């Protein structure tokens, strides 16, 4: 059945216009129980819309990868969809701790959580090796620290060209990447600006790619500014249009981070009951992102920034 599904999806790829789909269908088709999922995006473009849909569909035993698990993984850990975390910084950025993550690690609630821990550079290196199909990636890091002691996958090798030893990390190849972006065309050619984190590397490293965008634009818009295309449609399986899909994180030029919510989360998540009530209201209690956005109402529009346009560049016409 799954193999049939895969063949079906491959066939779908041949008809590019059919990549555009709903979040519900994209998650149902492309995220399977037990998958390794990388829902990436460094502080901006974190696709909470996809995280919430994964929770609603009650996916099981996922291995979740992210440099910074952030609130989105705290919510997914609390909802019990996550078995293992591959990460480098599990804090509430600018606020403090991730309370659900801490409960899982310190008390095994709601279930125990396996950890595979790196530094940021180690995680970035893992994605680079995964994207380039390399057996490992060398980093001048980890010297003198305890991370290699608790994570045997961080290893030291002898340089083949000199006396020095260097730490290496293994490739990371998630089953599915879920990446939020400002815009894409119907073929999945995706443009991101502002902080691009490791979005490009994650996309190339992963077996399946779901792109979620603020705006679907004409192919001509993408082709008019090809330097900005980070992810080619070639490796994209599904395109989902979901305005405000990254809230409470942000999308450069579209909306600001909802800092008040990041601060509030510290209180919401402190007790299991409060956190579950929040999930009931804001995740299980809405059908999709559109309902979530409507429920926030005008508050979200208040996060829109003023304009700061770049000067257009001249690519030149060569005939």
Partner 1 sequence: MEYSQNELMISAAARELRGARVAFVGVGLPNIVCNLGQRLHAPALELVYEAGVFGARPARLPLSIGDPTIVTGAASVMGMPDLFQYYLQRGLIDVGFLGAAQIDKFGNINTTVIGAYAKPKTRLPGSGGAAEIAVLCGKILVITRLNKRAFVPRVDFITSPGYLEGGAAREKLKARGRGPEAVITDLCVLRFAADTREMMVTSLHPNVTRAQVQANIGWQIRFADALETTEPPSAEELRLIREELDPQRLYSR
**Residues in touch with partner 1 (CB under 8 A):** 42-44, 67-68, 87-91, 93-94, 97-98, 101-102, 105-106, 117-122, 124, 127-128, 139-147, 150, 164, 193-201, 250, 252, 256-257, 259, 262, 305, 308
Quick one: which of 97, 93, 60 has its CA closest to 105? 97
CB of 28 to partner 1, least distance (A): 31
- Nearer CB in complex with partner 1: 34/305: 305
- Nearer CB in complex with partner 1: 22/43: 43
Q: Which two tokens stand for residue 86?
A: 């591959």
- Nearer CB in complex with partner 1: 48/262: 262
Quick one: which of 33, 24, 1, 3 has its CA closest to 175? 33
CB of 104 to partner 1, least distance (A): 9
- Nearer CB in complex with partner 1: 11/302: 302
> Token match 């992963």: residue?
206
Judge residue 239's burial from the number of C-beta atoms within 10 Å of its C-beta, 0-12 exposed, 13-18 middle, 19 or more buried.
buried
Radius of gyration of the chain (CA): 20
CB of 271 to partner 1, least distance (A): 17
CB of 111 to partner 1, least distance (A): 15
- Nearer CB in complex with partner 1: 1/310: 310
CB of 3 to partner 1, least distance (A): 35
How far, in Å, are 30, 163, 310 from residue 87 at the CA level? 22, 31, 34
Cα angle value 299/300/301 (rounded, 5°): 95
- Contact yes or no for 36/174 (Cβ under 8 A): yes
CB of 267 to partner 1, least distance (A): 17
- Nearer CB in complex with partner 1: 54/154: 154
Distance CA(246)–CA(176), nearest Å, equals 18
Question: Residue 215: left if φ>0, alpha if ψ -120 to 50, beta else—which one?
Answer: beta
Quick one: which of 276, 243, 246 has its CA closest to 258? 246
- Nearer CB in complex with partner 1: 42/292: 42
CB of 39 to partner 1, least distance (A): 16
Distance CA(18)–CA(33), nearest Å, equals 24
SS3 133: coil
């Amino acid at each position: 059945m799954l193999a049939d599904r895969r063949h079906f999806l491959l066939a779908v790829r041949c008809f590019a216009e059919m990549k555009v789909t709903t979040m519900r269908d994209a998650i149902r088709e492309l995220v399977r129980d037990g998958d390794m999922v990388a829902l990436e995006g460094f502080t901006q473009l974190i696709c909470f819309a996809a995280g919430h849909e994964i929770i609603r569909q009650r996916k099981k035993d996922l291995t979740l990868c992210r440099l910074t698990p952030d609130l989105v993984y705290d919510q997914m850990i609390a909802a019990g969809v996550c078995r293992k975390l591959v990460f480098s910084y599990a804090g509430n950025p600018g606020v403090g701790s991730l309370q659900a993550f801490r409960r899982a690690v310190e008390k095994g609630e709601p279930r125990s959580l396996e950890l595979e821990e790196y530094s940021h550079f180690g995680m970035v290196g893992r994605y680079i090796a995964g994207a380039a199909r390399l057996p490992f990636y060398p980093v001048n890091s980890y010297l003198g620290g305890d991370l290699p002691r608790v994570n045997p996958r961080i290893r030291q090798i002898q340089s083949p060209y000199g006396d020095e030893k260097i730490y290496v990390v293994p490739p990371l190849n998630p089953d599915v990447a879920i990446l939020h972006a400002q815009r894409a065309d119907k073929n999945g050619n995706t443009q991101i600006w502002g902080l691009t984190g490791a979005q490009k590397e994650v996309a190339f490293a992963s077996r399946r790619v779901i792109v979620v965008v603020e705006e679907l634009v004409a192919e001509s818009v993408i082709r008019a500014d090809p330097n900005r295309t980070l992810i080619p449609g070639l490796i994209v399986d599904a395109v989902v249009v979901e305005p405000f899909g990254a809230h409470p994180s942000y999308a450069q030029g579209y909306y600001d981070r909802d800092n008040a919510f990041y601060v509030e989360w510290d209180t919401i998540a402190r007790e299991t009951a409060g956190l579950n009530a929040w999930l009931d209201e804001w995740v299980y209690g809405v059908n999709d992102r559109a309902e979530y956005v409507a429920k926030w109402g005008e508050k979200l529009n208040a996060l829109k920034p003023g304009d700061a346009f770049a000067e257009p560049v001249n690519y030149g016409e060569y005939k």
